[in-house]
Amino acid sequence: MDTLAVVVEEPGRVALRRLDMAPPEGDDLVVAVEFSGISMGTEKLMYNGSMPMFPGMGYPLVPGYEAVGRVVDAGPNARGRIGEHVFVPGSSKFIGARGLFGGSARTLVTGSARVLSIPEGLGESAVLLSLAATAQHALVGGAMPDLIIGHGVLGRLLARMAVAAGHAPTVWEINPVRMDGADGYRVIAPDADDRRDYRSVYDASGDSKILDPAIMHMAHGGEIVLAGFYSDPLSFNFAPAFRRESRFRIATEFQPDDLAAVVAMVGSGRLSLDGLVTNRVPATEAATAYGQAFTDPSCLKMVFDWRDVA
């Protein structure tokens, strides 16, 4: 079998081309993808060539870990799932390209355990479930945020989850285009903030130079949670962190329980995904969409529409 897939041929060059795929076996599912999203963190690093080396990293590769669609076929042990509407974090079944993370394709083949059933009717917003799960994974490890750095999609999801839990965080944002959209919390520029008592700071900016400014606004014994992804080394001045006895925590990849938790939150209405997908284009425009996604600050989330792609 084969599929059309977005392929990062080399840094800065993206194409939509046909790839062979290994057929489904055992517990595998075949998913006809409806929408997939571009990650503004890891995919940007893959696109510009600054992604640190991970197992499976290399070019050409099929990017993406935010795909939603419907199960249309399955291996002999999973045929009962045919027809389900699902979220798929990707596939490694491509022949001729690496699958890191392998979600941006018209058809995906992957193990049933990796595929989560989701409610009907979410549409393109369902691609945001992975970022919501990333936020959930960061939050379950500690206290709710007093300060969130960055008002992109991850920062907004962290803020919405905090508000749903009864907290009203402050959010820092340096780009005026991204200052709006707050509901139940405030967004300000860092240099307009005179607080020095934040106990729980979550960085969702991915800025490797953020630690010193964050530390200067922290209370004694406060914690900084690194929820972004950083291609450059992080460093900080020791003395200010020493005086505050600052703590640091790294939030890693979301787990299946995190994804299930946010699906339940969205289904119950406790978490809204509205207003976060700002750009949707046919998947045939992949070659130009990446450049826009990574350079246009008004683009919070770029989504590919695969429904009319043969």
In tens, the pLDDT along 176-212 reads 999 999 999 999 999 999 999 999 999 999 899 999 9
pLDDT for 208-232, tens place per residue? Answer: 999 999 999 999 999 999 998 888 8
Looking at residue 67, its pLDDT comes to 96
CATH architecture assignment, domain 2-129+254-305: Alpha-Beta Complex (3.90)
Euclidean distance between CA atoms 70 and 11, whole angstroms: 31
Domain with CATH 3.90.180.10 in the chain: 2-129+254-305
pLDDT for 82-133, tens place per residue? Answer: 999 999 988 999 999 987 689 999 999 999 999 999 999 999 999 999 999 9
As a whole number, the mean pLDDT across the chain is: 94
Looking at residue 158, its pLDDT comes to 98
Residue in the block written with tokens 């339940």: 264
Euclidean distance between CA atoms 305 and 277, whole angstroms: 12
Q: Give me the mean pLDDT over the 291-303 stretch.
A: 93
With a cut of 80, say whether residue 145 has pLDDT above it. Answer: yes
Least confident of 128-132, 144-148, 271-275, 288-292: 288-292
Q: What is the DSSP letter of 22?
A: P
pLDDT for 229-278, tens place per residue? Answer: 888 899 999 999 999 999 999 998 898 899 999 999 999 999 999 999 99
Domain with CATH 3.40.50.720 in the chain: 142-250
The torsion defined by the Cα of 108, 110, 39 and 63, in degrees rounded to 10, comes to -70
Euclidean distance between CA atoms 40 and 176, whole angstroms: 18
The CA-CA-CA angle for residues 123, 128, 129, to 5°, reads 100
Looking at residue 285, its pLDDT comes to 94
Residue 63 banded pLDDT, cuts 50, 70, 90: very high
Looking at residue 230, its pLDDT comes to 86
Looking at residue 18, its pLDDT comes to 96
Euclidean distance between CA atoms 185 and 59, whole angstroms: 41
Give the type of residue at 78. Answer: A
Q: Are 89 and 42 in contact (CB under 8 A)?
A: no
Report the DSSP pairing between strands 247-250 and 218-226: parallel
pLDDT for 32-56, tens place per residue? Answer: 999 999 988 778 888 887 777 666 6
Looking at residue 237, its pLDDT comes to 97
- CATH match of 142-250 with 3.90.76.10: no
Q: Which of 112, 117, 139, 141 minimizes the C-alpha distance to 129?
A: 117
Q: Are 66 and 39 in contact (CB under 8 A)?
A: yes
Which conformational region is residue 206 in: left (phi greater than 0), alpha (psi within -120 to 50 degrees), or beta? Answer: left
Euclidean distance between CA atoms 94 and 3, whole angstroms: 9
Residues in Cβ contact with 291 at an 8 Å cutoff, skipping those fewer than 6 apart: none
Structure tokens given for 31: 């998913």
Displacement of CA 81 from its chain's centroid (Å):
26
Displacement of CA 10 from its chain's centroid (Å):
22
Euclidean distance between CA atoms 132 and 153, whole angstroms: 9
Q: Against a cut of 0.85, is the pTM above it?
A: yes
Burial 62-79 (b: 16+ CB within 10 A, else e): bbbbbbbbebebbbeebe
